[in-house]
Structure 1
Amino acid sequence: MPETPTPETPTPAEAIPGGVAHPDTPPAPEEPETPTEDGEESAVPVPKLAEPDYKALYEKMQADLDATRERSTEAGVEADELRAQVAQLQEQAMRDRIAAEYALPPVLAALVQGGDEAAVRAHAEQLAAVAAPKPLLGAGGLTPHAEPDPYKGLAEKLRRRRYGI
């Protein structure tokens, strides 16, 4: 069986100047031959590679790095501020919870102080002792503010006298 000549496929290094082509990549279409300086036509066109401006690339990357560092610093500062706010809110929530446990009115709940939970509880307990309404104990009668019954102990006194107890 006679072999038919197949067009030469370029190697990956030849396909992409300065790089390696993926083996599954179809070959690039052939370009027309271009005349050389001598007037002869070259079989393979010689691409002219432009030299990248490394200094400009370095300066751009340095500027990007500086901008990223600045954003990182700003994000760190913002994160610290948010952590401080979270700590304040957690402390206030603890104070509010403890003030509610001791049934302190809102005016006194705002006055609860302390660095840790034990100190806050102790202060809330002191405020509750001062602020809690104390029941008024009456001297007798149906209402707490009624006058004492003048005859309350009279029956007991008579019984003791009569029976000598």
Structure 2
Amino acid sequence: MTEQTPTPAEAIPGGVVNPATPPAPEEPVELTGSQEYSSEATGEPIPAPVPAEPDYKALYEKMQADLDATRQRSTEAGVEADELRAQVAQLQEQGLRDRIAAEYALPPVLAALVQGGDEAAVRKHAEALAAVAAPKPLLGAGGLTPHAEPDPYKGLAEKLRQRRYGI
């Protein structure tokens, strides 16, 4: 089969056929029962192309490279997951220390010093810091108990009575 040059109308999409161009003659394509083509120059039959067998070695090497890349990504993801687990554990411990420090009403400076591995140890340390940070009561200024708040009006009523009645 000879390859023909397309007409300008065929080569250019939307092209217009020039009326002076003669139409190309159509040649019928003849196929034999065995789907062989014949060479016009020699007249010998040309066998149909046989599909090539895939290159199994190249496929194996490509699959091996994909497997290695997947293993590498898996290792990197495992390392990243371990780092994230450690970060989550650290944030949970910090949250526990902050919550217990708030329960004992520790100021932020002392709340940052609270330490401990578990909740009982954190509570014990926060309690010790709270005992140190609590204000000391003034002895002798209160009522019957030394840590009670003094009554500011108690002495005032007695002074007014003495001034008015002279007693």
Q: Aligned runs of 1:6-85 on 2, under 5 Å?
A: 33=31, 34-35=35-36, 48-85=50-87
Q: CA deviation at 1:118?
A: 0.3
Moved >6 Å (runs of 4+): none
Give the TM-score, by structure 1 length: 0.58
Residue number in structure 1 paired with 2:117 = 115
The residue that corresponds to 1:100 in the other structure is 102
Q: Write the distance in 1 (CA, Å) between the matches of 2:138 and 2:50.
A: 104
Mapped to 1, the partners of 2:130 and 2:119 lie a distance apart of: 16
Partners of 1:115 and 1:140 in 2: how far apart?
41
Structure 1: runs of 5 or more not aligned: 1-30, 150-165
Take 1:138 and 1:32, find their aligned partners in 2: how far apart are those partners?
126
AA aligned to 1:66 is D
Give 5+ residue unaligned stretches, structure 2: 1-28, 144-148, 156-167
Could you tell me whether the CA contact under 8 Å between 2:37 and 2:48 is conserved in 1? no
CA-to-aligned-CA distance 1:59-115 (integer Å, 9 cap, x gap): 000000000000000000000000000000000000000000000011111111111
Task: Return the offset for 1:46.
Answer: 5.5
| Residue 56 of structure 1, CA deviation | 0.4
Alpha carbons of structure 1 residues 73 and 110: separation in structure 2 relative to 1, 3 Å: same
Summarize the Cα distance change of 1:32–1:123 in structure 2 as closer, same or farther, 3 Å threshold: farther
The TM-score normalised by the length of structure 2 is 0.58
Q: Is the Cα–Cα contact under 8 Å of residues 116 and 122 in structure 2 kept in the other structure?
A: yes
CA distance in 2, matches of 1:40, 1:57: 35
Aligned-pair CA distance for 1:36:
5.8
Cα RMSD between the aligned structures? 3.1
2:109 alignment partner, SS class: helix
1:4-44 deviation digits (Å, cap 9, x = unpaired): xxxxxxxxxxxxxxxxxxxxxxxxxxx96233679679xxx
